């Protein structure tokens, strides 16, 4: 299966909303996505397959986003269509987000994840994010804690695009 990762625009908002429901059960509203997709500090990437494989989604099977705040990339979203999970696509998208953050001279990256979301925590730890704190009962739907993760060294030479193991070593 061939995939490509590219910036996505507000034109894809219908597919984004469908994917949001599939990945997160309805995390953000259409207005939140519209704000996200039109904000200059926000970097939104999609992972796409051939449209004939997923016509309803216009080929969009994953998405990720970060906000550039000063020299920090705040990863706000990372989701892969359930039918395409555990095939390495989440990590490809994370690498693409980190590459983009590096290109625009961010120094570190941070994110927040549900304490029970061990798969995502494993993914971030694989790419050298560390747990630095916990927000008690941060998620209001079930009073779940939020785990705060962080990684520095975005400008480290070991993370240059020509390094095959970038983001896992540098
Ligand atoms: C989290 C998510 C993005 C991972 O995407 P994915 O494409 O399934 O993950 P990958 O196949 O790229 O996995 C890469 C690494 O992540 C970890 N990982 C991912 N899913 C995992 C799971 N269910 N259990 C354990 N480890 C997991 C593993 O370390 C894996 O490396 P490995 O294959 O060498 O073991 C995806 O499961 C998803 O969209 N989940 C729903 C939305 C979500 O929770 N997003 C994160 C919110 S912060």
Per-residue pLDDT tens listing for the chain (170 residues): 899 999 999 999 999 999 999 999 999 999 999 999 999 999 999 999 999 999 999 999 999 999 999 999 999 999 999 999 999 999 999 999 999 999 999 999 999 999 999 999 999 999 999 999 999 999 988 999 999 999 999 999 989 888 888 898 76
In a domain, 164, yes or no: no
In a domain, 28, yes or no: yes
CA 121 – ligand 1 centroid, Å: 8
pTM of the model: 0.96
Query: Would you state the pLDDT for residue 47?
Result: 98
Query: Would you state the pLDDT for residue 170?
Result: 61
In a domain, 71, yes or no: yes
> Which atom, in ligand 1's list, is nearest to the CA of 113?
48
In a domain, 142, yes or no: yes
In a domain, 70, yes or no: yes
Which among 56, 128, 60, 68 is positioned nearest to 94, based on CA atoms? 128
CA 124 – ligand 1 centroid, Å: 9
In a domain, 166, yes or no: no
In a domain, 167, yes or no: no
CATH number at residue 39: 3.40.630.30
In a domain, 24, yes or no: yes
Structurally, the chain folds into a number of domains equal to: 1
Structural domain of 13: 4-159
């Amino acid at each position: 299966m061939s995939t490509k990762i590219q910036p996505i625009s507000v034109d894809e908002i219908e597919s984004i909303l469908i994917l949001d429901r599939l990945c997160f059960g309805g995390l953000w509203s259409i207005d939140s996505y519209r704000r996200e997709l039109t904000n200059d500090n926000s970097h939104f990437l999609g992972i796409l397959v051939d449209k004939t494989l997923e016509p309803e989604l216009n080929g969009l099977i994953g998405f990720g986003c970060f906000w550039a705040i000063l020299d920090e990339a705040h990863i706000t979203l990372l989701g892969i269509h359930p039918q395409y999970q555990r095939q390495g696509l989440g990590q490809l998208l994370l690498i693409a987000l980190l590459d983009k953050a590096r290109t625009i001279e961010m120094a570190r990256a941070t994110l927040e994840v549900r304490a029970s979301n061990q798969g995502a925590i494993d993914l971030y730890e694989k790419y050298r994010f560390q747990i630095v704190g916990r927000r008690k009962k941060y998620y209001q739907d079930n009073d779940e804690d939020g785990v705060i993760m962080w990684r520095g060294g975005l400008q480290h030479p070991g993370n240059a695009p020509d390094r095959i193991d970038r983001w896992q070593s540098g």
